[in-house]
Structure 1
Amino acid sequence: MATAIPYNYSYIFKYIIIGDMGVGKSCLLHQFTEKKFMSDCPHTIGVEFGTRILEVSGQKIKLQIWDTAGQERFRAVTRSYYRGAAGAFMVYDITRRSTFEHLTNWLTDARNLTNPNTVILLIGNKSDLAQTNREVTYEEASTFAQQNCLLFLETSAKTGENVEEAFLESAKKIYANVRDGSLDLNAADSGVRSKTNRQIETEDLSRTNINQASNKSNCAC
């Protein structure tokens, strides 16, 4: 009988990734959760989901990440995922100025649809193309971030540059908000859930039952 692997984490943080179509949102998700670059990644229809556990200040934290479609026709659907997000990645493509110019609209949605303590990180993706195709300077993006009280990093979903750092730094900020009481864990829209021992036991039991069922189905009759 297979041994269940414990769900060993203390908190769950909900994230959303927003931005125009083609800026690399799904590629960022796959680079972070799977450590690989998907060069032929299709455009997201509706939402895509991924998870990974990080260690922050000695605590294991599970990130639940919702990657939203950038097309306007999906906006009514994806807006429903903003609620209850503890962290939001607002992504633009440093080689396409139009994606940077649309950030104000994305930020308006993020501010209106998330709670006031949601940590918003501005991400300039495709930094691997900075030398040849850059259309948005680091300085102007940094200024935009400062003016709007956002964290800011340039990343490359292709090489992995700063992808890990983006999730880690934002998770540190969210955890700091938990520790200082800025985030009310009892509020439905906080985007943070604390794991109790009972929850862990229940999930482990569920995992054990799944493994047992799988083992039985693989046995020769």
Structure 2
Amino acid sequence: MLVDDVLVVLQLWDTAGQERFRSVTKQYFRKADGVVIMYDVTSEKTLISMRHWMASIQDSVGAGTVITLIGNKTDLAQDDRPVSYKDGARLADEYGYLFYETSVKTGDNVIESITGLALLLKDKEDKQIERTMLDLTTVTPESSLPCCNKS
């Protein structure tokens, strides 16, 4: 997807939260630049299980991994829904994650949530490139290296 006129390539894997994939997902988390975890706003049980997934992610990801928490199925939610926006936002804030609510069925806020993730990934990569460029400009000149001193 294009983010600020830069092509950002995303590869998304869906394990549907199934326990049988837990050992596999830990391996993917280690290499991931970003992680999206999703719960169902119509089921309090899915929000409660988020803490377990979040702990697993925290133990597996590298520093600086961008993590997004998404509450899904807003199209099914009533005014008195089991999981409020505040509940999800509070949990995401506690861990320092991005937070969105979406409806995959209607498409509501789906592009915005993935764009938010992609933007943070792009910014992270831009900062890494900037640090690398700074490191390259501070390389010791050849004349100060013992092997290259021509005096």
Worse-superposed segment, 61-70 or 116-125: 61-70
Report how far residue 77 of structure 1 moved: 2.5
Bigger Cα Rg: 2
Report how far residue 133 of structure 1 moved: 6.8
Other-structure match for 2:141: none
Other-structure match for 2:62: 115
- Structure with the higher fraction of residues in helix conformation: 2
Other-structure match for 1:77: 24
Identity of aligned residues (%): 39
- Amino acid in structure 1 at the alignment position of 2:118: A
Q: 1:139 to 1:182 in 2, by over 3 A?
A: farther
Report how far residue 122 of structure 1 moved: 0.6
Other-structure match for 1:87: 34
Runs of at least 5 residues in structure 2 that lack an aligned partner in the other structure: 133-151
Alignment of 1:104-183 (within 5 A): 104-131=51-78, 134-181=81-128
> For the residues of structure 1 that align with 2:29 and 2:6, how far apart are their CA atoms?
25
- Amino acid in structure 2 at the alignment position of 1:167: I
Aligned 8 A contact 1:95 1:133 in 2: no
Q: 1:102 to 1:167 in 2, by over 3 A?
A: same
Using structure 1 for the length normalisation, give the TM-score.
Answer: 0.56
- Amino acid in structure 2 at the alignment position of 1:79: K
Is 1:56 the counterpart of 2:6? The answer is: no
Stretches of 4+ aligned residues off by more than 3 angstroms: 182-185
State the Cα deviation string for residues 119-175 of structure 1 (Å, max 9, x = none).
Answer: 111100000012267210111211111111011000001000111111101110111
1:96 to 28, 43, 50: 43
- Amino acid in structure 2 at the alignment position of 1:113: S
Q: 1:145 to 1:183 in 2, by over 3 A?
A: farther
Runs of at least 5 residues in structure 1 that lack an aligned partner in the other structure: 1-53, 186-221
Q: 1:183 to 1:95 in 2, by over 3 A?
A: farther
Aligned 8 A contact 1:155 1:161 in 2: yes
- Amino acid in structure 2 at the alignment position of 1:96: S
Using structure 2 for the length normalisation, give the TM-score.
Answer: 0.80
- Structure with the higher fraction of residues in strand conformation: 1
SS of the residue 2:13 aligns to: strand
Aligned Cα root-mean-square deviation (Å):
2.1
State the Cα deviation string for residues 88-108 of structure 1 (Å, max 9, x = none).
Answer: 111000001010001111111
Higher relative contact order (CA 8 A, sep 6+): 1
Report how far residue 182 of structure 1 moved: 8.6
Aligned 8 A contact 1:177 1:183 in 2: no
